[in-house]
Amino acid sequence: MIIYPTIELMKGRCVSLWRGRLEDPQGWDVDPVDVSKSFADAGAEAMHITDLDAVAGSDGNASLIAEIVRKVGIPVQVAGGYRTQEAIDRAFDIGAARVVMGTIAVRHSEWVKAMAKYYPDQIVLAVDVLNGQVMVDGWREAAIIAPETLIEEFASAPLAAVKITDIYNDVDATESSIAVIAHLAEYARAPVIASGAVHSIDDIARLKYVPNIAGTLIGRALVRGTVDLKEALAVAAEAKGKVAEFI
C-alpha cells in the first residue's frame, strides 16, 4: 500500500481546514517546499498536493506547486481546480504525475472520461462523501448522484485511481470511514486511494486488509505529529498477516 503524505495549500501556506470549511483554514508555520522534501527524505514513494485556492477559483499557488514538483524528487499527485484541458496540460508540463478531478467529474462526466482516455493512467477520480452523498465545490454542496453510481459510471475509463474521502471522518476523526471506504471500493475497477481515514498508525494497519485499497493520503496527522511518516511507511510495507477464517 502506497502512503501519500499530503499538504493543502492556501495563499502559499500549508493549512488544514476546520471541519472542512474553506473559509476557516488553520495555518501551519512550516515551509511547503521543505515539508515536501522531508516526505521524500523519509522514504515516501509519492505525495499529494491540494490547492485550496484553485478550488475557490484562484491560481495563486501555481508557481509554488511547480517548485515543489521540481525539487521533491518523487511523483506528485495534484488536486484542486482542474476544470479545463489547459489546466491539466499545465500540471503535466510542470512534471505532475497525476491530476485529481472531483466536482468536474460529477458535472461533466463525459468530458472527464475523455480526459482519462487522453491521459491514460494519469487521471484520478475524486469521490468525496458525506452521509452517503457526493459533495462538490469544496465539500459545500451535495450532488444528486449516489457515490456508488458515480464510481460505476467511470468503470471503463482508464483511470489511475479512485480517491475516496469520507468527509465525516476526516473532520471529526471517527472510526467510521474505513467501513464507508471499504463499501465504495467494491464498486471501483481502478485502484482505490483512501482519504480522511488515517488518524493513527493503527488505521494504516486496518486499511491494508481492505480489498482494492492501493494507498492512502495522510495530511493533518503528519503535521500534528499523531502519525510519524517513517513508521507509517514501515507499516504499509509490512507483509499482511494471516486472517482467521470464521465458520
The residues carrying an active-site annotation are 8, 128
Measured CA distances, 36 to 54, 70, 86, 139, 156 (Å): 19, 11, 25, 25, 33
CA 236/CA 208 separation, integer angstroms:
7
User: 170: exposed, middle or buried (C-beta count within 10 Å: 0-12, 13-18, 19+)?
Assistant: buried
Give the CA count within 13 Å in the CB-facing half-sphere of 110. 0
Per the document, the length of the chain is: 247
List beta partners, residue 134: 129
Rg (CA), the chain: 17
CA 166/CA 195 separation, integer angstroms:
7
CA 185/CA 23 separation, integer angstroms:
31
Determine the 3-state secondary structure of 219 from DSSP: coil
Q: Residue type for 32, please?
A: P
